[in-house]
Amino acid sequence: MDDHQETLDLGSYAALGDSFTEGLNDPGPDGRFAGWADRLAAMLAARRPAGDFRYANLAVRGRLLDQVTAEQVPQVRRIRPDLVTFCAGGNDILRPGSDPDEVAERFEDAVLELREHTGTILICTGFDTRTVPVLRHLRGKIATYNGHLRAIADRNGCQVADLWSLRSVHDRRAWSEDRLHLSPEGHQRVALLAARSLGLAADQDPEAPWPARPEQTPAEQRRENLQWARAYLLPWVGRRLRGESSGDHVEAKRPELLPL
Question: pLDDT, tens digit, for every residue of 91-102?
Answer: 999 898 999 999
- Residue 1: pLDDT band (50, 70, 90) is very low
- Fold (topology level) of 3-207+216-259: Rossmann fold (3.40.50)
Q: Report the pLDDT averaged over residues 74-92.
A: 97
Q: Report the pLDDT averaged over residues 191-200.
A: 97
SS3 assignment for the chain: CCHHHHCCCCCEEEEEECHHHHCCCCECCCCCECCHHHHHHHHHHCCCCCCCCEEEECCCCCCCHHHHHHHCHHHHHHHCCCEEEEECCHHHHHCCCCCHHHHHHHHHHHHHHHHCCCCEEEEECCCCCCCCCCHHHHHHHHHHHHHHHHHHHHHHCCEEECHHHCHHHHCHHHECCCCCCECHHHHHHHHHHHHHHCCCCCCCCCCCCCCCCCCCCHHHHHHHHHHHHHHHHHHHHHHHHHCCCCCCCCCCCEEEEEEC
Question: pLDDT, tens digit, for every residue of 200-256?
Answer: 988 899 999 999 988 888 888 888 888 878 887 787 777 767 766 666 678 999 999
- Residue 4: pLDDT band (50, 70, 90) is very low
Q: Report the pLDDT averaged over residues 114-119.
A: 96
Question: pLDDT, tens digit, for every residue of 27-76?
Answer: 988 888 999 999 999 999 999 998 899 999 999 999 999 999 999 999 99
Domain positions in the chain: 3-207+216-259
- Mean per-residue pLDDT of the chain: 91
Predicted local confidence at residue 55, as pLDDT: 98
